[in-house]
Amino acid sequence: RLETRSMLSATLALVLAAGTLVRLGAWRDNRAFLVTLLVEHPQSYRAHASAAAVLAGLRDTAGARREYARAESLFGGDPHLNADHALYLAGLRDTAPAAALAARARALLPREHVALRAQFLVALARADRARALALADTAQAWFPWDQPWYERYLH
């Protein structure tokens, strides 16, 4: 009985190890992971949102915009997706769509902190310091640990 359990455990460990070895190629770098993710899950809005984040990190603006658009076409109702996209666009100073996405995210989830950050950056980009200060005050009340992030932009 103990031998049977040991054999089953060893077999399971070997199967899991083989699966990991097969996947290592996809984990080699961000682009390989990204391609594998999109091939395996072409209809997953989260896969496309992840791709957008990776492409944004690689400073591939056109690719990031394309993948955010694809993710939103698959499911635009996720406040976290809207907030991430808004923050990305706010960083590019593309304030009109950033403001709309952040507002949509906060309408769905009022305390979405990434959307609050995006609204703050949009206010600064539009030279609306009063609105930026009001948003920073809201952030301080809701997310006190996030205050240094806001202060970095205000000083």
CB 79 within 8 A of CB 115: yes
What is the pLDDT, as a whole number, of residue 19? 67
DSSP conformation class of 29: S
Residues 57 and 78: their CA atoms lie apart, in Å, by 21
Whether 75 has a pLDDT exceeding 80, the answer reads yes
In the prediction, which pLDDT does 70 show?
94
Question: Where is average pLDDT lowest: 17-21, 111-115, 120-124?
Answer: 17-21
Say whether pTM exceeds 0.85. Answer: no
Bigger pLDDT: 6 vs 123: 123
What are the structure tokens assigned to 53, written together? 């984040």
Quickly tell me which residue has 């594998």 as its tokens.
Answer: 36
Nearest to 113 by CA among 95, 153, 86: 86
* Per-residue pLDDT at 21 exceeds 70: no
pLDDT band for position 28 (cuts 50, 70, 90): low
Quote the tokens at residue 47.
């896969």
Gap between the Cα atoms of 143 and 112, Å rounded: 10
Owner of token pair 């770098």: 29
Express each pLDDT in 100-112 by its tens digit: 999 999 999 999 9
- Rounded average pLDDT over 100-127: 93
Six token digits for residue 54: 């990776």
Q: Give phi and psi for 141, each to the nearest 5.
A: -70, -40
Contact assessment for residue 25 and residue 33, using Cβ atoms and an 8 Å cutoff: no
Place 126 in a pLDDT band, splitting at 50, 70 and 90: very high
For the chain, what is the mean pLDDT? 87
Q: What per-residue confidence (pLDDT) applies to 23?
A: 56
Q: Give 36's pLDDT tier (boundaries 50, 70, 90).
A: confident
pLDDT for 55-68, tens place per residue?
Answer: 898 899 999 999 99
